[in-house]
Amino acid sequence: MSHSFKTQAMVLKRVSVGEADRIVTLLCPERGKIVCVAKGVRKLKSSNRANLEPGNIVEALLIETKSLPILTQSKLAADATNVRQSLTGISQLSQILEIFDRLFVEDFIDEAAGELAFAIHQELVSENKRNGRIKQLLTELVQTLGYQALDETTHQSILDYVAEISEQKMKSFDFLQVRA
């Protein structure tokens, strides 16, 4: 028997499937990364359509199934519209979301790491964003997840480091330099 659960989540990425559906990756503070199906979300009349943009924070209602959970409802809690106003902001948002997608695993999250991820997101979307603070929080996140401190590695940027950790080349551009 399937049961439903409600959670607050950050939308990390989405991939279109079929004519009207999307596979959505969410980061939840209490459950970790969740990959779910949003059925019919690409239809023009879908109420979930605008909520499930990468970088948004949503209140999501999901139904657990034998395969992927199904996202049935979402309510926008915080959007990332102000970050999407510039190319630099879009690039930074893409990088942060890709880093989170690579570092967090499905169905598990360390409470402190989850809090750091949401603090990074909050700093990124704030009106007076401080890039130095974002870098500091990212460094803390990497260490909280059990990896070596960035300044103790030979990597030139956090993206290089995350690419090595995840053993996959990063797709985003390198704006988040670790060293000045």
Q: Which own/partner contact pairs does 39-42 have at CB distance under 8 Å and 24+ positions apart?
A: 39/70, 39/71, 41/71, 42/16
**Is residue 165 within 8 Å of 102, Cβ to Cβ?**
yes
Which amino acid belongs to residue 83?
V
Mean residue pLDDT across the chain: 88
Alpha-carbon span 86 to 88, nearest angstrom = 5
Average pLDDT of the residues in 113-140: 90
The per-residue pLDDT for 173 is 59
- pTM here is 0.88
What number of residues does the chain have? Answer: 180
Instruction: Considering the chain, tell me which residue range(s) the CATH 2.40.50.140 domain(s) occupy.
Output: 4-78
Q: Which helix (H) or strand (E) holds 88?
A: helix 87-103
> Dihedral, CA atoms, 87, 84, 145, 154, nearest 10 degrees?
10
Identify the helix (H) or strand (E) that includes residue 60: strand 57-63
Handedness of CA 115, 179, 132, 12 (dihedral sign): negative
Q: Is the pLDDT of residue 178 over 60?
A: no
Q: How far apart are the first and last CA of the chain?
A: 54
Per-residue model confidence (pLDDT) at position 62: 94
- Output the six-digit token pair for 144: 């909280």
Architecture of domain 4-78: Beta Barrel (2.40)
Counting beta carbons within 10 angstroms of the beta carbon of residue 5, is it exposed (0 to 12), middle (13 to 18) or buried (19 or more)? Answer: middle
